[in-house]
Amino acid sequence: MSYHHKQLEPYWQNHWKNKNIFKTTEDKSKPKFYALDMFPYPSSSGLHVGHPMGYTATDIVSRYYRMKGYNVLHPMGWDAFGLPAEQHAIDTGEHPSKVTYRSINNFRSQLQSLGFSYDWDKEIATCDPKYYHWTQWIFSLLYKKGLAYQAEVFVNWCPALKTVLANEEVIDGKSERGNHPVFRVPMKQWMLKITSYADRLLEDLNKLDWPESTKEIQRNWIKKSVGAKVKFSIKNNDSDKIEVFTTRPDTLFGATYMVLAPEHPLVNKLTTTSQKDKVTEYCEVTSRKSDLDRTELNKDKSGVFTGSFAINPLNGDAIEIWISDYVLMGYGTGAIMAVPAHDTRDHDFAKKFGLKIIQVIQSPDKNFDIEKEAYTEDGVIINSDFLNNLNVEEAKEKIIEHLVKNKLGEQSITYKLRDWIFSRQRYWGEPIPILKDSKGNIIRTFNENELPLTLPEVTSYEPTGDGKSPLSAITNWVQRKNEKGELEFVETDTMPGSAGSSWYFLRYIDPFNQKSIGDYEKLKYWMPVDLYVGGQEHAVGHLLYSRFWTKVLFDAGVCPVDEPFHKLVHQGMICKDGAKMSKSKGNGINPDDVIREYGADSLRVYEMFMGPLTQTKEWDDSNLAGVHRFLSRIQRYYLSDDGKSLLNNEPASQQDLKILHKTIKKLTEDIENLSFNTSIAQMMIFLNTIAESQCKNREILGEFLKLLSPFAPHLAEDLWFKCILEEKMLPEDKNYKFISLENWPKFDPSLTVDNEVKIGVQINGKHRGEILIPMNASQDEAVAAAMENANVKATLEGKTIKKTIFVANRILNFVAV
């Protein structure tokens, strides 16, 4: 009987939906398990086969823990604000909400066709006013706590899209969407003071069960640096000083030039007439580069001399002041003292432009040539006056003491982490709940009873192009009178897409609460998320912002935990012909097509069988077909061609019981370790072993279906109904027992230990048969068993055994003539 997925999969999906069997329960006497996927942005193109990789993993785990007796929260929703829907509105005039909800409906349908056990009663969309009411409330909280402010900062401005872009939306100096040029320009923006939480964000990484690589990415992004701020005077300029932050004040005698970020406010003032054209051109070129491009270690160093000189505060030497794109205005003070003898990047720069190199730390290698490379290890201080002969740590203490005493600097801690730019000049985003006066001064945030501040209808979604959003043109929305009849103005920038995704995991817990972001006791029960699965590309965006907001809400007494995600896993990528799948490359695969031909269970099992969850894997249609054959084989083992059960109640052998209990043990351990590919391999071994013994025992095969059900839920549910349930109720009956709600099987440890072993028998090195003998059997026992094997017996007939080679539990070999 062939596997009729087109009939049975929609059949069981409808019954699951009608009975709402995956609805979250909250019996607090039971343990909980919160499994979460990074929710998708619902694009018009729909899902691709890469999406189900992570979704299937969390679904298997959710089904497993549900069967283990846990209360399981397994929700799905939509990251629904964003530039693609707005760009569609600009191009077509269709409201962004229409294309967004059309995409949501398509995504939902696709996910439901895969049989995921989501509680759809918990569904949320970040663009729903009922949801962003509380996103706005959180912004108001941030503002009241002094964590939201406005400042003029350098941003990624895209003239073609007429909006500010996040760093992750800029690739090689161009917008991710549309491939338009992006420039770094100063603009007044709303900022969130994530830097206030830098220490906690850094320290608390240690208590998370996250991939070490992701934690290291966040550590490097936050990057706490302890050092000193040093003030440099400027030659022939008594009014200005350049302040630098350095982690190596012990090398100050070796500073031979200075470098400013091209955006540094003193650049124009310090640039001499003869250098003006070169500096202006360099600044313009730099404005088209992203921070990542600028700090790439392997890139060719570039820069321009300003024509001015600074004074080294320790030795009075005049040192050149340059600008270079490898110095960022957003890190430290936007200026560095360059010590080329002991910094590889400074050394490369100095060699390229012929700048002086002075060694101030002695290498133990007397042949070390400082002109060829920088010396970056510890050593004894040299060429440094009163610091000579000290080690590095001693020199740091002494130089900081000297700087403070002479008012030349101070000890300081700084971070690479910058405050979060929170403004977007877009229509399709959460309105910022701030009222201002006619001069742009902030009056207050909206009160809670005034929320949500919803988006108005507009005639044009096109931004103004001068840094203002389309909302600024809606006078009757922007302007409103207060109780005194005074005119007040609503903030017209909107929030970035990352706003709604920074707390959605909390809203799933209590999505219809109209009084708070969620009932505190419910949040206390469910948080933190036990398993969070998604892409590593969100390491310093979404994952960092979510941690920040959770800590703010924790400090405010609103959230009971200060970290949102206990365990984090990054699923691997699926490639086709060695390349990442994409529409532009024409190598994408629509899961709808796969489901149509092979079924949802085949897609689920195949993606889990491709390899370890976290690794990149190659799509192979032939392997997908092989998985489909495996599922078809399971069905044929249970059902006759006319759909009748082939199972019976005949007693099972010890061997059959053993393979069942070994399989239960293996899958229990593997699912908890997210080793799904080895789980599937074990189920294949089970089927082969059972088929060899021709076991049709209903109890054993019923337990196997429970193991199969998290992976291939439709087939398992169908065979459970047709072959296992003795009370022949229909699925629509009130008390029908779905396999999805059965208890997970328990294994008997005594049945998982082998007391017999199958070994091969060779005659003159050629395989002639297999024997089943007790574990650790003696040679005599093995030989006796071999002589009972018909093929071995026939081969040895008429021959004389000259030698017997026996390796316990492994092999028996006769040398015979």
Annotated binding site: 583
> Backbone phi, then psi, for 578, in 5-degree steps?
80, 0
Q: Are 533 and 123 in contact (CB under 8 A)?
A: no
Contacts of 607 (CB under 8 A, 6+ apart): 49, 52, 53, 56, 574
By three-state DSSP, how is residue 442 classified? strand
Q: What torsion do the CA atoms of 475, 480, 486, 491 make, to the nearest 10 degrees?
A: -80
Cα separations (Å) of 124 from 127, 164, 726, 790, 814? 9, 27, 40, 68, 70
Return binding residues for ATP: 583
Q: Name the H helices within 745-800.
A: 779-786, 790-796
Q: Are 303 and 212 in contact (CB under 8 A)?
A: no
Q: Give dist(CA 618, CA 589) in Å, integer.
A: 12
- Token pair 């229990």 is found at 668
Contacts of 360 (CB under 8 A, 6+ apart): 250, 251, 253, 254, 339, 341, 342, 381, 382, 383, 384
Q: Give dist(CA 617, CA 628) in Å, integer.
A: 19
> Backbone phi, then psi, for 632, in 5-degree steps?
-65, -35
- Select from 526, 514, 420 the least CA-distant residue to 167: 420
Cα separations (Å) of 350 from 285, 303, 341, 358, 377? 21, 11, 9, 11, 19
Q: Give dist(CA 516, CA 134) in Å, integer.
A: 7
Cα separations (Å) of 311 from 320, 328, 335? 9, 22, 14
Q: Give dist(CA 46, CA 52) in Å, integer.
A: 12
Contacts of 804 (CB under 8 A, 6+ apart): 779, 783, 812, 813, 814, 815
Q: Are 104 and 42 in contact (CB under 8 A)?
A: yes
Other C-beta atoms closer than 10 Å to the C-beta of 690 total 22
Q: Give dist(CA 383, CA 341) in Å, integer.
A: 12
Please give the sequence-ordered ranges of beta strands (E in DSSP) within 262-373, or none if there are none: 304-311, 318-323, 335-338, 361-362
- Select from 501, 496, 491, 521 the least CA-distant residue to 509: 521
